[in-house]
Structure formats: C-alpha cells, structure tokens
Amino acid sequence: MRLYDYWRSSAAYRVRIALNFKGLAYEQVPIDLRAAAQRAPDFLEINPQGLVPVLEDEGVRLTQSLPILNYLEERYPTPALLPKDAPGRATSRAIAVAIACEIHPLNNLRVLQYLEREFGLDEAQRLAWYRHWMAEGLGPIEAMLARSAGAFCVGDAPSLADACLVPQVYNARRYQCDLEPYPTIRRIDERCRAIEAFANAAPERQPDAVT
Ligand SMILES: N[C@@H](CCC(=O)N[C@@H](CS)C(=O)NCC(=O)O)C(=O)O
C-alpha cells in the first residue's frame, strides 16, 4: 500500500490511524502542502482535487479520507473500526462526518490562504475564523458524545469516529483553541493517544515531520 501523505494533514492522520490499527504496512509518499506540492501537475495526475490523502492498494487509487476509511473497513474488516450494531455504526459515521465534512473543510489550508489572499485577513483574523468554526463544531460533538460514548466515541471500542476525533483535536491544539468546554472530547482523545496505533500515526512521528 502507498499513502500520499503530509505529516500535519489531519485527513491523512485519520487514514494513518486506521492503517496502523488494522496492522497494515504502507509506504508513505510525503506531499509538502506548505510548498504547494499538492498543486503540482504530477500530483494532480494522482488526485485531480489536489488534496491528501490518497491511498493506493492492489492497483486501485482511492481519494477522500472517509471513503478510504470505509474501504479499509470493508476490505480488511479485522480488527473492526466500526461497532457491530447498525445504530452504533451509523452513530460512529455521523460523528466522523460532523468532523470531516462540517469542521475540517472550513479550516483547510486553501480556505485560510484564500481568506488571506482575497480578503486580506491578517493572522489574528484568520485565527478567529479558525477558532470560531472549531468551537461551532466541537460543541455539538461534545453533546453527541454525551449520548454515545463509553471509553471511546461510541461505546467501549475505538471506531472511525475516534480516528477522526483525534486528528481534529490535534488541529485544535495546534491553533490554541479552547478545549476546556469539552471534557468528554479531551478524555477520549487522551485515551486514544495512549493506543500505539494512534500514537504512531501522530504528526510528529511521521518521516516528513518538521520539528
Ligand atoms: N475531504 C477531504 C479533505 C482532504 C484535505 O482537505 N486535505 C488537506 C490536508 S488535511 C489538503 O490536502 N489541503 C491542501 C490545500 O488545502 O491546498 C478528505 O477527507 O480527504
């Protein structure tokens, strides 16, 4: 397997967690987002969207982290990253979507760059934007978790929801968002990060990490 990756990409971080959790070996191909490598013609050949992650497996090229997570779950079902019961699976996917489709796109690199380039927002204004959408997203997720969580986001086993939550909390910390109002999120994040599969997927452990 080959993962087109970037150490600080939270979408790629989700996929790294799932690959590690399932014990799947993969080669990492770093795409330097800060150097705009995602918009270079050779990478656009690989993903016309100009986004990481991209996963290649058995001659198939896959884009978009949530479909990639679902592919991994279907193709390599053990150990499972979804609950056994249908309502539990739907709940895990709902939390994953709330993160990946509601919070993340608003705070993506190209959005922040556009706010700066087209509207002249300075760093403080971009940070205010970032923190606003983070709080708008994490507040309801904290409430969702009050209904679904055990040790992890849904019950007592890690699932796709946790694979999405941990990278989002990483982003929140990176931009000094206030996590005080979210005790359940903080508890689950800490518990997940103690698991080797999650720990080894962390940005600072990636080969292209700049520290
Ligand atoms: N919906 C996509 C989002 C992918 C995405 O936005 N990736 C970011 C890194 S986290 C990226 O490649 N950004 C490049 C850019 O904004 O130019 C997914 O879940 O895979």
CA distance 134 to 139: 8
CA distance 207 to 103: 27
Mutate-to-test residue for ligand 1 from 31, 34, 52, highest number of ligand atoms within 8 A of CB = 52
What is the pLDDT of the chain when averaged over all its residues?
A: 98
| pLDDT, position 107 | 96
Mutate-to-test residue for ligand 1 from 51, 65, 106, 116, highest number of ligand atoms within 8 A of CB = 51
- Per-residue pLDDT tens for 96-116? 999 999 999 999 999 999 999
CB 96 within 8 A of CB 69: yes
Phi, psi of 175 (to 5 degrees): -105, 25
Q: Is 25 exposed, middle or buried (0-12, 13-18, 19+ CB in 10 A)?
A: exposed
Average pLDDT over residues 41-58: 98
Which residues have a Cβ under 8 Å from the Cβ of 70 and sit 6 or more positions away?
160
CB 15 within 8 A of CB 65: yes
- Per-residue pLDDT tens for 157-210? 999 999 999 999 999 999 999 999 999 999 999 999 999 999 999 999 999 999
CA-based nearest residue to 170, from 123, 143, 205: 205
- Report CA-CA distances (Å) from 83 to 66, 73, 80, 101: 16, 11, 7, 21
| pLDDT, position 211 | 79
